[in-house]
Amino acid sequence: MRLKRLFVSLAVVLTASGFLFGQGYRGQGRISGVVTDQDGNPLAGVKVKLFSLKGQSGFETETDKNGEWKALYVRGGTWNIDFEKPGYIPRKISAEVKEFDRNKPIDIKMEKICGLIITEELKAALKQGNDLYEAGKYEEAVTAYEAIIQVNPDAYIIFMNIGNCYFQMEKYAQAEEYYRKVLEKDPENAEAILLIGNTYANRGQDAKAMDWYNRIDFEKITDETVLFNLGSNFFKQSKLDQALKYLQRAVEIKPDFADAVYQLGLTYLAMNNYSGALAAFENYLKLDSTSGRAEQVKGFIEFLKKK
């Protein structure tokens, strides 16, 4: 698999979701979470938009004074969840919801944008850029994003979006240039550091890619997808101890992250840790028992049980 498709999903792409008026999202499930700022302080009044892909409908709620939100009587499957609050960078995630089992609380940190107010006009401009990006019109999206920065110089995080466009166009030097612009304002931004590493990985410069990946403070990474991607990169470089550390953390944060569970099993297998591999692959089948990969995992399990 090329890295481009896997990694670009990690970048901050600000968006607003549309919601239908039907109630196909209803079911017997329950999800909840807490939203805090970067210092761990609860954020009240965060708009939480939830959209069920299976039900093709959704609804909105808000966090209370403790930063807590709840969604009751929802169906299982994949949900897109947006978090928005004026003055903060919007967050967009996807979550797998279990309808008849307990779902792990979703903890979200939102980063304040100093000097920038998220107005309706700004959100509309972001949506225009994001729509162009999703349609594969990357050059037009770049123009739209640059127009936002011209009007809102404090919205430096939009440089990430521009970098993503160049990344998709396989213009990796230009992508790196814009990711570095984010680091000029926020030197510890783990996503920008990761994405610069990705530009080198896609240019076949694995040593430079790993140099960038190693700059990310492990203790500060709370995004399971970032952890998974880093672990996968270490696995590719045969740095199995490092891969194991990142993949274990990814699965700890999100136990139903099937790709991470599978990669964890492969890592244990490569380390000849057969008991660890067996446990990981058995957990994988609890998440996916019918796909082509599941058949491969069943073969691994049959082999491991003979060890």
225 vs 260: CA distance, rounded Å:
8
Q: Tell me how far apart the alpha carbons of residues 276 and 267 are, in angstroms, rounded to a whole number.
A: 9
Question: What b/e string do you get for 3-16 counting C-beta neighbours within 10 Å, with b at 16 or more?
Answer: beeebbebbbbbbe
Average pLDDT over residues 253-266: 93
CA–CA distance, 143 with 278 (Å, rounded to integer): 50
Q: Flag whether pLDDT at 298 surpasses 90.
A: yes
Rounded to the nearest 5 percent, the helix, strand and coil shares of the chain are: 50, 20, 35
Per domain, the residue ranges of the chain are 26-110, 116-216, 219-304
Residue 54: per-residue pLDDT: 86
Domain 219-304 in the same topology as domain 26-110: no
Helices and strands in the chain: count of H runs, count of E runs:
12, 7
Confidence at residue 47, expressed as pLDDT on a 0 to 100 scale: 92
Measure CA 16 to chain center: 16
List the single range of 37-41, 162-166, 217-221, 257-261 with lowest mean pLDDT. Answer: 217-221
Q: What is the mean pLDDT of residues 59-68?
A: 93
Bigger pLDDT: 268 vs 307? 268
Rounded to the nearest integer, the mean pLDDT of the chain is 85
Superfamily of domain 26-110: Carboxypeptidase-like, regulatory domain (2.60.40.1120)
Q: Would you state the torsion angle of the CA atoms of residues 97, 98, 99, 100, taken in this order, to the nearest 10 degrees?
A: -160
Q: What is the pLDDT of residue 209?
A: 85
Q: What is the pLDDT of residue 8?
A: 41
88: exposed, middle or buried (C-beta count within 10 Å: 0-12, 13-18, 19+)? buried
Tell me which of 3.40.50.620, 2.60.120.380, 3.30.430.20, 1.25.40.10 is the CATH number of domain 116-216. 1.25.40.10
What pLDDT is recorded for position 179?
A: 96
Over residues 13-33, the pLDDT tens digits come to 333 333 434 567 888 889 999
Continuous H helices in 237-273: 240-253, 258-270
Model-level pTM? 0.51
pLDDT at position 21 is: 40
Q: In CATH, which superfamily holds the domain spanning 219-304?
A: Tetratricopeptide repeat domain (1.25.40.10)
**Any bridge partners for residue 29, and if so which?**
74
Report the percent of the chain where pLDDT is more than 70: 90
Q: In this predicted model, what pLDDT tens digit does every residue of 123-152 receive, in sequence order?
A: 788 889 989 998 999 999 999 999 988 887
Helices 258-270 and 224-236, axial angle in degrees (round to 10): 30
pLDDT attached to residue 9: 37
Comparison of pLDDT for 206 and 158, the residue scoring more: 158
